Amino acid sequence: MNPGGMVGKAVPRIEDDALLRGRARFVDDIHLPGMLEAAFVRSPHAHAAIRGIDTAAAAAVPGVVAVFTAGDLVPHLTAERLVVGLPSPSYRLEVDRPVLASDEVVHVGEPVAIVVAASRYVAEDAAALVEIDYDPLPVAENCRDALADDAPRVHSREPHNLVAAFDMAYGDIDQAFARAPHVLRESFWQHRGVAHSMECRGVVAAHDPIGNRLTVWSSTQTPHPAKRLICALLGRDDEEVRVVAPDLGGGFGPKLVFYPEEIVVPLASILLGRPVKWIEDRREHFVATTQERDQYWDMAIAIDGDGRILGIRGSLIHDHGAYTARGVNVPYGSAVTVPLPYNVPAYRLDVKLALTNKVPVTPIRGAGQPQATFVMERLLDRVARELGLDRAEVRRRNLVHADQMPCEKPLKLRGGTFVALDSGDFPTAMADVLAKTGWADFRARQEAARAAGRHIGIGLANYVEGTGRGPFEPVKVRVTSNGRIRVASGATAMGQSTQTMLAQIVADQLGGDMANVSVTTGDTAAINLGFGGFNSRQAVMAGNSAHAAAMKVRKKILKAASAMLEVAEDDLEIVGTRVALKGVSEHGIALGAIARALDGSPGYKLPGDLEPGLEAEEHVIVHDMAFSSGSAVAEVEVDVDTGAVTVTRFTLAHDCGRMINPMIVDGQVVGGIVHGIGNALFEWMGFDAEAQPVTTNFGEYLLVTATEIPEIEILHRQSPSPLNTLGVKGVGESGVIPTPAAIISAVEDALSPYGVRIAQAPVSPADIIALINGASGRA
Amino acid sequence: MQGSERRAISVSVNGSRHDREVEVRLTLADFLRHAVELTGTHVGCEHGVCGACTVLVDGLAVRSCLMLAVQADGREVATIEGLAPGEDALHPLQQAFKDHHGLQCGFCTPGILATLVEYLAENPEPSEAELKVALSGNICRCTGYRDIIAAALDAAARLREARA
Amino acid sequence: MKPPPFRYHDPRTLAETVTLLGTLENAKLLAGGQSLMPMLNMRFVLPDHLIDLNKVAGLAHVEAEGRTVRIGAMTRQRDLERSALLAAKLPIIPAALAHVGHLQTRNRGTIGGSLSHLDPSAELVTVCAALDATVTVAGPGGTRAIPFSEFPLGYMTPATGLDEIVTEIVFEAWPAGHGFGFAEYARRHGDFAIVSAAALLAFRDDGRIGRAALVLGGLEPVPTRLSAIEAALAGETPSEELFAELCRPCAELEAMGDALVPASYRRHLAPVMARRALARAAGIAAAAIH
């Protein structure tokens, strides 16, 4: 078939059959002969000095093979700490996680020791017997309070809690505010909580002493970076370590981080000479896997008399948690994103990252962008109210227009390049969603509902999402001697259909038969370089590498076939697993035969004087980010007696460039929207004043279930990205970004008879009742 | 701490009998996954909320993390591995989930299908609202449920057709 | 999250069960396991012995004799939900069960287990209080009947002795055609109620209220019986306004507060749920009368 027929089609997923038959292989499904199971001993204190650790009673439990503390492990490592933070000049403190805590614990859940036993049951029995002499220390719980001069210090050895600070600024902000006829101020509190992939984390490690090869299976989004860290910590060469991300039961961000367990479990396996498995349980996930928590924003917007933005300025205090587990990227993403969809002539945000005695903060689906969108959209709602304008009209006057594309913004990405919106038509997308939802008629519907005692509301939010983080993600395409097409990539699948996406792009060039393509993702033995899955990057980065590699293989196939069949290349086509004369399918040659010919034969020339082998590895390099965009409308009904919010309808006009597989795109977007409903209304990772978690199970931490979802509709525009050959943009985080902003706007609209102003997400029913009764919010 | 008591049990799983000696504290989920080595049943929370570990015991959908293996002695357990009629075909539920993109990472899927096997047998023609209630004890973080509900409605129709 | 070690006992008779309970130290009874098993997995409870009731004969039944309805303690919630007998005699029980957990938990969870666990937010606790149920317990000295008003002693503390087991719950059915209403607010479908209310109304021939029962759940550690409202309802003609007026003082009741739900919010919900339950009870009764 001719290339181009597969990309853009809603073909079924190649992942599904194994998953539907219970034959997938998640990390806990791996069972090796002689395997031991581990449990970690974790701090019950948010902050305490460790005066002593006694492992004797635990080690004496029948079935226990070893109990290791930092003192046992550190001598075998090149470093005591996991230095993983992305580079930034903004750090004021270096607070890297220790492999295991030895003298001080700084959050509940911090690992102190590992118990390795015949089974997880026994390991848990023994873990309870490890005696740790803790001396509790004062706690910094709230990130705003943590920055006070007299605040308890999160780390006793550090002079303060300001781990990093930076500003993001352009334009003459002082002048913009000085000449503005209107300046409006708002403060916001936002919180996102825990990612809660349905599969928690887990690590299985096995060491082959004969080949001196360590294999680590980890439920990670980033196996290649994990391998580099394991090699560095163990002082091993690349060839001696293999990291495999097997099937992942979801990622959503936290699994991109490298964790202490990912070095402790492999080291335990090496020391004991037996495979070791550790599977994080849900209770551990609440305190040991990274989260995204509080952000406090104090903002001001300067506008002219028509509601056009003159400038935005303010400050952000961000809860960083107890350690740097990824970097400053979440608040950086927030700070960059605020003004992006709109024309904002001047901008300044001062950002402070505060340490707290809580689980480290790293990106969760959206990574700071939902919060930025919330702030911008709430400010625009305030402008509309202040000037008596329709909320959509205020946005229309300020949105970046199609004829501004590509639209460079004087804001720098973390790598130092300027942000440029690459393509899209924001005002038209917004017009589409307004038309679809009957925005203009809503007031009449609302009045009719109010007359019947019901409080319905509508809200709107625009957003952009930076996708396709570079610099590259390699893909190798190979035709085997059986004629099968093998694809390998550093890309890592955690549920986003990555294998189908790559197979579709490759099959598009190589015969169009998805069943003939096998894809290996997340295995460092399959390809040498890679980053993995985060930042909605894989369709862009790996997708384009796959396209380039497949085209290269295609060319070679046709050249070889031309030589072997003595037919001009132009007269040939690849159909299924064969190359055939166009229109004469019986005259041709199998892909396997070409591959075998290119394996070479001693003493003979290769067909067409080609290089040997039928494979290609490509790593398309792109530094600029591709910006997906969209416009969301939420409709809600509020029960003013209980404060309960029901999202009744959610409509998103969405543009992720050219769609590779519309079915998968919709799946990603809908999943993101429902995650966003959780962020708007349900999810809250609570801690008390002593930084003890108060939401530690799924009865207390509320994930959205089937009964809470609205009618959801996605409208598509496809503005191809000029940044890559396929014209694609990422989609994994889009749905979540505008959702809290649109929903909270709708709730406020529903409650307009009460004059309620909402400056927070999430908002609980209790909060709503309090707001109706005149209380102020959490910001 | 006392030693851990063991007991011999005999459990039928997907029609095959499995005689094992197990610790009395072993959960049914761990028995299926580790003793019988059927790893298609997944453990998501171990406190009975997420529904990933749902299996059928004597035809009823239950949380296998909240049952002990010894309680399944002499009973019939059905897991995801036993759902498809054979290598060449999927069960109508499985096919509908594939066709409607009712799964992404697939971790929660076995529990959802187990729940639906019981539910659709009793309610062959559910409304969308009834299906949402029936599935409210199965958490999915990937799909946002929309395509799961669509798949379940379609599966119900396919099953009705197969019966007719 | 694996259960701690314990000795496992699976008696076949009530007598055997009572004997085990009387002789074993630190024993826990395992009914449907929907509360105890999570607590074991989280190691919040560390029993030396687990006595599994699932094989004990004679504990699962729904029977009626005249207006008296007897429910065996090990009857599954799912069987109660689908019982035609209950739908006819004690319809508020299936109505409340529509809010209890999920298909999978109701397939295992039992009425006796729920009452013995005695979560203040549990729907069955609220309903049993409204119905003035009697709890039959068996112990070494034989059986005794505990009126439900005396059953909850405090937060998750039933009046059963350490050597006693709940065997049956006995109800006197309200007259045919009585009104019943169950209302609750939970954050998601199937969650424990933040506040729930159970209302029963019997009507006189003139359509006025003859007898009323009204109980709030989740507000306090034990069910909150609204006796004053019940008394005030007698002789009145049901109306939304009447219910709103009578229930308003519920906002002043004592209420629990915690890190997840402030007491002020529970208090706020109290009159809302009380009047919603009454309105439902009145609406259904009206339909039955016509």
SS3 track for chain C:
CCCCCCEEECCCCHHHHHHHHHHCCCEEEECCCCCHHHHHHCCCCCCCEEEECCCCCCCCCEEEECCEEEEECCCEHHHHHCCHHHHHHCCHHHHHHCCCCCHHHHHHCEHHHHHHHCCCCCHHHHHHHHCCCEEEEEECCEEEEEEHHHCEEECCEECCCCCCEEEEEEEECCCCCCEEEEEEECCCCCCCCCEEEEEEEEECCCCCEEEEEEEEECCCCCCEECHHHHHHHCCCCCCHHHHHHHHHHHHHCCCCCCCCCCHHHHHHHHHHHHHHHHHHHHHHHHHHHC
Number of domains in chain A: 3
- Across the interface, do C260 and A128 touch by the CB < 8 Å criterion? no
pLDDT in tens, A90-140: 999 999 999 999 999 999 999 999 999 999 999 999 999 999 999 999 999
Q: Check if the beta carbon of residue A90 is closer than 8 Å to that of residue A166.
A: yes
Which residue among C4, C34, C54 places its CB closest to the CB of B48? C34
Q: What pLDDT score does A775 carry?
A: 75
Q: What pLDDT score does C234 carry?
A: 96
In this structure, the answer to whether residues A603 and A628 fall within a common structural domain is no
Q: Check if the beta carbon of residue A222 is closer than 8 Å to that of residue A186.
A: no
Residue C49 sits at the chain B interface (C-beta within 8 Å): no
Tokens of C51: 């006595």
Contacts of C105 in chain B (CB under 8 A): 48, 63, 66, 137
Predicted confidence band at C287 (pLDDT cuts at 50, 70, 90)? very low
In chain A, % of residues over pLDDT 90: 96
Which residue among C37, C50, C188 places its CB closest to the CB of B48? C37
Q: Check if the beta carbon of residue A213 is closer than 8 Å to that of residue A242.
A: yes
Contacts of B114 in chain A (CB under 8 A): none
What distance in Å separates the CA atoms of residue A641 and residue C194, rounded to the nearest whole number?
Answer: 14
Predicted confidence band at C288 (pLDDT cuts at 50, 70, 90)? very low
Q: What pLDDT score does C251 carry?
A: 96
Q: What pLDDT score does B3 carry?
A: 58
Burial A229-259 (b: 16+ CB within 10 A, else e): bbbbbbebeeebbbbbbbbbbbbbbbbbbbb
By C-alpha distance, the chain B residue nearest A129 is B1
- Across the interface, do A121 and C268 touch by the CB < 8 Å criterion? no
Predicted confidence band at A373 (pLDDT cuts at 50, 70, 90)? very high
Q: What pLDDT score does C127 carry?
A: 98
Predicted confidence band at C289 (pLDDT cuts at 50, 70, 90)? very low
Predicted confidence band at A565 (pLDDT cuts at 50, 70, 90)? very high
Please list the alpha-helical segments (H only) found in A299-425: 329-337, 369-387, 391-398
Which residue among B1, B41, B101 places its CB closest to the CB of A663? B101
Average pLDDT, integer, range A283-293: 98
The alpha-carbon gap from A597 to the nearest alpha carbon of chain B, in Å, equals 34
Contacts of C5 in chain B (CB under 8 A): 1-5, 23, 25
**All domains of chain C, ordered by start, with CATH?**
7-52 (3.30.43.10), 62-172 (3.30.465.10), 179-289 (3.30.390.50)
Which residue among C5, C188, C261 places its CB closest to the CB of A707? C188
In this structure, the answer to whether residues A240 and A103 fall within a common structural domain is yes
Domain boundary among A618, A639, A669: A618
Look over chain B and give the mean of its residue pLDDT values, rounded to a whole number: 96
Residue A699 sits at the chain B interface (C-beta within 8 Å): yes
- Across the interface, do A700 and C262 touch by the CB < 8 Å criterion? no
Q: Residue A102 maps to which CATH number?
A: 3.90.1170.50
- Across the interface, do A688 and C259 touch by the CB < 8 Å criterion? yes
In this structure, the answer to whether residues A91 and A72 fall within a common structural domain is yes
Tokens of A486: 């093998």
pLDDT in tens, A703-728: 999 999 999 999 999 999 999 999 99
**All domains of chain B, ordered by start, with CATH?**
6-82 (3.10.20.30), 92-163 (1.10.150.120)
Contacts of C192 in chain A (CB under 8 A): 699
pLDDT in tens, B68-125: 999 999 999 999 999 999 999 999 999 999 999 999 999 999 999 999 999 999 999 9
Predicted confidence band at C169 (pLDDT cuts at 50, 70, 90)? very high
In this structure, the answer to whether residues A458 and A496 fall within a common structural domain is no
Q: Check if the beta carbon of residue C239 is closer than 8 Å to that of residue C161.
A: no
- Across the interface, do C2 and B63 touch by the CB < 8 Å criterion? no
Name all chains with 3 or more CB-CB pairs below 8 Å to chain A.
B, C
In this structure, the answer to whether residues A128 and A243 fall within a common structural domain is yes
Q: Residue A475 maps to which CATH number?
A: 3.30.365.10
pTM for the model stands at 0.97
Ranges of beta strands (E only) in A494-596 are 517-521, 572-575, 578-581, 584-590
- Across the interface, do B68 and C108 touch by the CB < 8 Å criterion? no
Nearest to A527 by CA among A588, A464, A618, A450: A618
- For residue A7, is it within any domain? no
- For residue A750, is it within any domain? yes
Residue A688 sits at the chain C interface (C-beta within 8 Å): yes
Residue A24 sits at the chain B interface (C-beta within 8 Å): yes
- Across the interface, do A708 and C188 touch by the CB < 8 Å criterion? yes
What distance in Å separates the CA atoms of residue B71 and residue B54, rounded to the nearest whole number?
Answer: 15
- Residues of C at the A interface (Cβ-Cβ below 8 Å)? 1-5, 38, 42-43, 185, 187-192, 259-262, 264-265, 268-269, 272
Residue B55 sits at the chain A interface (C-beta within 8 Å): no
- Across the interface, do C103 and B1 touch by the CB < 8 Å criterion? no
Q: Check if the beta carbon of residue A645 is closer than 8 Å to that of residue A727.
A: no
The alpha-carbon gap from B136 to the nearest alpha carbon of chain C, in Å, equals 7
What distance in Å separates the CA atoms of residue C33 and residue C23, rounded to the nearest whole number?
Answer: 22
The alpha-carbon gap from B69 to the nearest alpha carbon of chain C, in Å, equals 12
Nearest to A190 by CA among A358, A369, A352: A369
Residue C190 sits at the chain B interface (C-beta within 8 Å): yes
In A, residues 603-662, which contact B (CB 8 Å cutoff)? Answer: none
Q: What pLDDT score does C284 carry?
A: 56
Q: What pLDDT score does A583 carry?
A: 85
pLDDT at C285 over 70: no
Burial C61-88 (b: 16+ CB within 10 A, else e): ebebeeeebbbbbbbbbbbbbebeebee
Q: What pLDDT score does A5 carry?
A: 86
State the burial class of residue B73 (Cβ atoms within 10 Å of its Cβ: 0-12, 13-18, 19+): middle
pLDDT at A14 over 80: yes
Q: What pLDDT score does A2 carry?
A: 61
Site from C265, C273, C275 to mutate, A interface, most A CB atoms within 10 angstroms:
C265
- Helices and strands (H, E) in chain A, number of each type: 20, 33
pLDDT in tens, B60-75: 999 999 999 999 999 9
What distance in Å separates the CA atoms of residue A141 and residue A692, rounded to the nearest whole number?
Answer: 9
Domain boundary among A246, A279, A312: A279
Q: How far is CA A522 from the centre of its chain?
A: 16
What distance in Å separates the CA atoms of residue A563 and residue A593, rounded to the nearest whole number?
Answer: 13
Q: What pLDDT score does A774 carry?
A: 87
In this structure, the answer to whether residues A462 and A405 fall within a common structural domain is yes
- For residue A51, is it within any domain? yes
Predicted confidence band at A415 (pLDDT cuts at 50, 70, 90)? confident
By C-alpha distance, the chain B residue nearest C46 is B1
The alpha-carbon gap from A648 to the nearest alpha carbon of chain C, in Å, equals 15
What distance in Å separates the CA atoms of residue A504 and residue A129, rounded to the nearest whole number?
Answer: 53
In this structure, the answer to whether residues A275 and A307 fall within a common structural domain is no
pLDDT at C38 over 90: yes
In this structure, the answer to whether residues A118 and A241 fall within a common structural domain is yes
SS3 A130: coil
- Across the interface, do C262 and A766 touch by the CB < 8 Å criterion? yes
Q: What pLDDT score does C286 carry?
A: 46
In this structure, the answer to whether residues A86 and A220 fall within a common structural domain is yes
Look over chain A and give the mean of its residue pLDDT values, rounded to a whole number: 96
Predicted confidence band at A301 (pLDDT cuts at 50, 70, 90)? very high
Nearest to B77 by CA among B66, B64, B86, B93: B64
Predicted confidence band at C242 (pLDDT cuts at 50, 70, 90)? very high
Contacts of B118 in chain C (CB under 8 A): 103
- Across the interface, do B44 and A282 touch by the CB < 8 Å criterion? yes
Q: What pLDDT score does B1 carry?
A: 42
- Across the interface, do A766 and C2 touch by the CB < 8 Å criterion? no
In this structure, the answer to whether residues A478 and A459 fall within a common structural domain is no
In B, residues 68-97, which contact C (CB 8 Å cutoff)? Answer: 68, 70-71
Residue A445 sits at the chain B interface (C-beta within 8 Å): no
Rg of chain B over CA atoms, in angstroms?
16
SS3 A741: helix
CA atoms in the 13 A half-sphere facing the CB of A126: 30
Average pLDDT, integer, range A284-291: 98
Task: Report the DSSP pairing between strands C157-158 and C165-172.
Answer: unpaired
In this structure, the answer to whether residues A460 and A480 fall within a common structural domain is no
The alpha-carbon gap from C137 to the nearest alpha carbon of chain A, in Å, equals 30
pLDDT in tens, A612-640: 999 999 999 999 999 999 999 999 999 99
Average pLDDT, integer, range A45-73: 98
Residue C46 sits at the chain B interface (C-beta within 8 Å): no
Preceding omega of A762 cis (within 30 degrees of 0): yes
Q: Check if the beta carbon of residue A400 is closer than 8 Å to that of residue A425.
A: no
Average pLDDT, integer, range A299-317: 98
What is the residue type of C7? R
Q: What pLDDT score does A443 carry?
A: 97
Q: Check if the beta carbon of residue A737 is closer than 8 Å to that of residue A370.
A: yes
- Across the interface, do C264 and A770 touch by the CB < 8 Å criterion? yes
In this structure, the answer to whether residues A535 and A671 fall within a common structural domain is no
**Prediction ipTM score:** 0.98
- For residue A492, is it within any domain? yes
Q: Tell me the residue range of the domain where A109 lies.
A: 34-137+201-279
- For residue A14, is it within any domain? no
Rg of chain A over CA atoms, in angstroms?
28
Q: What pLDDT score does A250 carry?
A: 97
pLDDT in tens, A719-756: 999 999 999 999 999 999 999 999 999 999 999 999 99
Domain boundary among A279, A308, A339: A279
